[in-house]
Structure 1
Amino acid sequence: MGVIYLIIIGAAAGFLATRLMKLETDIVTTVAIGIAGALIGGFVLRMVLTVAGLLGGLIGAVLGALLLIWLYQTYVAGRGGPKK
């Protein structure tokens, strides 16, 4: 089923891409362009999402550390001693 799905999506993507670029090709070339474009686009998108996920993790970690520092300064360091 996966191969049939790839051919159908590839044909649709190839048809749209060749029409947008005003390129006249036969059906086999159109499907091949669509399948190759789907593979390349999927790889690039996966890489972009991985990098975005790593950056999201870094931002989340920094925000979590800032929250812990604030909680420590507010509730732990503030007890019993003078504030700086």
Structure 2
Amino acid sequence: MSIVFLIIIGAAAGFVATRLMRIDADIVTTVAIGIFGALIGGLVLRVLMALTGFAAGFVGAVLGAMLLIWLYQTFLRHR
């Protein structure tokens, strides 16, 4: 999966992940969370994506964004 595709999917995944985790974030933060989450999820789920296609890529992007939100809330926000 190309980096450009992960960025596009990441923007949508960031929106979904922030809504699922009930995070009130601005647009730039939401897109950044989605992009970095998509990169994380895309790298972790590369084998799964090869087997099942686009749906696994989107699920991986959302899960990666949710992981990044959790890490942010746990380690960075409370400082």
- Between the two structures, name the one with larger relative contact order (CA 8 Å, sep ≥ 6): 2
Give me the TM-score of the superposition, normalised by structure 1: 0.47
Instruction: Find the structure with the greater CA-based Rg.
Output: 1
